[in-house]
Each structure stands twice: as C-alpha cells, then as structure tokens.
Amino acid sequence: MKPFLRSALAGGASGARSFSALAACSGTAGGTGWPERLLHRKRVRRSLRSSLAFELVADKLPVTPSRTQSASVAGRLTSGAVSGALVARRGGGGAVAGALVGAAAAAAWTFVAPQFRAALAKRAGGDLPGALAEDAAAVTLAYVAAR
C-alpha cells in the first residue's frame, strides 16, 4: 500500500477516535526507529489500548464535549500527524509528508464526520448506530494503515 494512503487512513482514524491509529501502530510490527521502539513497550502499548477503550465508551456519553472544540481538534491533529508519519515511514515514505497528510485527513474527519453522524442519527432514531459505525470505521482504518 502506498505510504501516503496509509497516512491518510491513519489520519482519518485519528480524526474519528484520537487514540485509534497510535494504538494500532503499537500493536503491529513495522519500523525500527526510536518511535517504534517506544510504541512497542508493553506499558505504552497497554496505555494506548486503554485510552482507546476509554475513548470508545466516552464518545457515547451525553456529557462528552464536541470534537470540534479547540483542545480536541489539536489532539486529533497531533495524533493524525504522528500516526501519519509513523505509517508513512513504515511504507518507505517521508515522515514529514506523512505527518502533513495524516493531519489533513484527521482535520477532514474531525469536521465532516459529525455531520454524517447527525444525519444518520435522524434516520436511525438515535446517535448510537452512527457512533458504533464510526467506532468500527476508526478501528478498521487504523489497523489497515498500521499493518
């Protein structure tokens, strides 16, 4: 798979669930640099998976703030950039270009997906089906990008 397509997938996953791509990168083989060695440490891997699990649950709660608030956007863009750089390097591409592609894809998902989710909520009679579909998309995109 092309390195920058991987970056776009990882960035999109990060825009949906900010820890998804980093958790996927920590659980799959690839790369030999210091970021990879850090991600593959048992505690880091466990922490990222726990963070993703918490995020999957917290997203469904009515008290969870909008993902388009500035702090949330910054976290999603950062996660998209880091994961985009990681998967681009794994595929033989440049880290800087991968980071830019990942951040752009994270931004796109962050701002566009809530509109689709709201439309689905109207059709389905509630937010849960859209939230679960977005969870599935985020995890799938993340693991496809990371492998």
The model's pTM: 0.89
- How much is the pLDDT for 31? 62
- Which token pair is 87? 């998967």
- How much is the pLDDT for 144? 95
pLDDT in tens, the chain (147 residues): 799 999 999 999 999 999 999 999 997 766 667 777 788 788 999 999 999 999 999 989 989 888 888 989 999 999 999 999 999 998 889 999 999 999 999 999 999 988 888 888 889 888 898 899 999 999 999 999 998
For residue 60, the SS3 value is coil
The domain tally of the chain equals 1
Closest CA to 10 of 69, 78, 73, 56: 78
Q: What are phi and psi of 69, to 5 degrees?
A: -70, 150
DSSP string for 27-49: HS----SHHHHHHTSHHHHHHHH
- How much is the pLDDT for 66? 87
Residue 139 and residue 45: Cα distance in Å, rounded?
Answer: 15
Residue 101 and residue 105: Cα distance in Å, rounded?
Answer: 6
Q: 22: exposed, middle or buried (C-beta count within 10 Å: 0-12, 13-18, 19+)?
A: buried
Closest CA to 127 of 117, 135, 137: 117
Whole domain around residue 71: which residue ranges? 3-146
Q: Taking a C-beta distance cutoff of 8 angstroms, is the pair 80, 139 a contact?
A: no
